[in-house]
């Protein structure tokens, strides 16, 4: 299961990596030939995408390692840490775009007017948007399928690049088709785009940090777990439930009660049925610990 998951996730990451390499070269060449400072900046921004892809690829490889003596719950937290890293990179990208946009606006009204770019920069922006939107949709589907937070985070990283290139496209298109006085559209769009990037980054970082500090699963999920336990024959009063996420997997610890006249083997069979039912629902790699107690039947007064 882990090998198949790793293969699917890695394919999505490496597809993004080679696409980012090609887009970086395209943007830099188009920016230089088309005299577009915005496109050159977008190309430099794509270098961070390449570095992020390498970090994610490494984290997936580590997370796919089986449990060992020092990591008895596996290496899933590495993937969560990588997701937090992607969120941090996204936040830095948003800050960079915001700073560059404000600086360009101030310079345009000062002594550094923005230049009018060529059509090659416009075409490069269109290609970048199309490629990045495809990578966003493809990576998001894969990330949800294999339940990978870091892959989902990287998908939103691709979407932030769409926003960035869209701002560049508006500025370049405005300058080309509306005239030099409209070059100000580029930095204005960039400032607006940076706000959306901040929002996505904060969401990714928050989710990763909640997992790293052992936050419980949502209340509805815990209610579902208790309901499943109630449905298993022989299980009484499931309680003291503790849950958490470990990368793409979850951990479940709970106490149950069984009839006190049962022997050890019979009580064990009940816990095995409960564990099997939970793994059928949440995956074979779910970490489950069940503590069995005797059922105390209180007499009616």
Distance in angstroms (rounded) separating the CA atoms of residues 190 and 112: 18
- What pLDDT does 285 receive? 77
pLDDT digits (tens, 9 = 90+) for 169-228: 877 787 778 877 777 776 777 777 778 778 878 888 888 888 887 788 889 999 999 999
Q: What is the DSSP string of 91-160?
A: HHHHHHHHHHHHHHHHHHTTT-PPPPPPHHHHHHHHHHHHHHHHHHHHHHHHHHHTT-HHHHHHHHHHHH
Q: Are 183 and 171 in contact (CB under 8 A)?
A: yes
- DSSP reduced 3-state for 239: strand
Nearest Cα neighbor of 83 from 136, 165, 155 is 155
Ranges of residues in the chain whose predicted pLDDT is under 70:
1-3, 37-38, 64, 68-69, 72, 74-75, 113-116, 186, 248, 297-301
Q: How far apart are CA 192 and CA 269, in angstroms?
A: 59
> Running DSSP on this structure, what letter comes out for residue 232?
S
Give the model's pLDDT for residue 1. Answer: 47
pLDDT of residue 299: 40
Q: Taking the alpha carbons of 221, 227, 230, 236 in that order, is the dihedral positive or negative?
A: positive
What domains does the chain contain, in order, with CATH numbers? 2-212 (1.20.1510.10), 219-295 (3.30.70.1350)
| CA separation for the pair 301, 298 (Å, rounded) | 9
Q: What pLDDT shows up at residue 300?
A: 45
What are the CA-CA distances from residue 7 to residues 14, 48, 122, 142 (Å)? 11, 24, 36, 11
Between CA 160 and CA 153 the distance in angstroms is 11
- CA distances to 207, 209, 218, 245, 246 from 215, rounded to whole Å, are 10, 9, 9, 8, 11
């Amino acid at each position: 299961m882990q090998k198949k998951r790793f293969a699917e996730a890695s394919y999505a990451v490496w597809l993004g990596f080679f696409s980012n390499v090609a887009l970086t070269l395209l943007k830099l060449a188009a920016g230089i030939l088309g005299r577009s400072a915005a496109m050159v900046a977008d190309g430099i921004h794509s270098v961070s995408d390449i570095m992020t892809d390498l970090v994610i690829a490494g984290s997936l490889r580590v997370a796919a390692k089986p449990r060992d003596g020092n990591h008895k719950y596996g290496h899933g937290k590495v993937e969560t840490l990588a997701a937090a890293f992607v969120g941090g990179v996204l936040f830095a990208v948003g800050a960079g775009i915001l700073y560059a946009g404000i600086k360009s606006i101030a310079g345009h009204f000062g002594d550094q007017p923005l230049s009018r770019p060529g059509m090659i920069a416009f075409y490069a922006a269109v290609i970048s948007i199309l490629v990045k939107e495809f990578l966003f949709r493809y990576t998001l589907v894969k990330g949800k399928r294999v339940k990978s937070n870091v892959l989902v985070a990287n998908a939103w990283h691709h979407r932030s690049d769409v926003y960035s290139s869209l701002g560049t496209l508006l500025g370049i298109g405005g300058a080309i088709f509306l005239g030099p006085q409209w070059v100000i559209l580029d930095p204005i769009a960039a400032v607006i785009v940076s706000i959306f990037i901040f929002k996505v980054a904060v969401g990714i970082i928050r989710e990763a940090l909640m997992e790293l500090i052992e936050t419980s699963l949502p209340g509805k999920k815990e209610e579902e777990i208790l309901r499943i336990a109630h449905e298993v024959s022989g299980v009484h009063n499931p309680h003291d439930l503790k849950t958490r996420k470990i990368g793409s997997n979850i951990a479940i610890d709970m106490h149950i009660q069984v009839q006190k006249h049962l022997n050890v083997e019979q009580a064990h069979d009940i816990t095995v049925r409960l564990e099997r039912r939970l793994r059928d629902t949440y995956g074979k790699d779910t970490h489950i610990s069940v503590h069995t107690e005797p059922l105390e039947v209180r007499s009616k007064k």
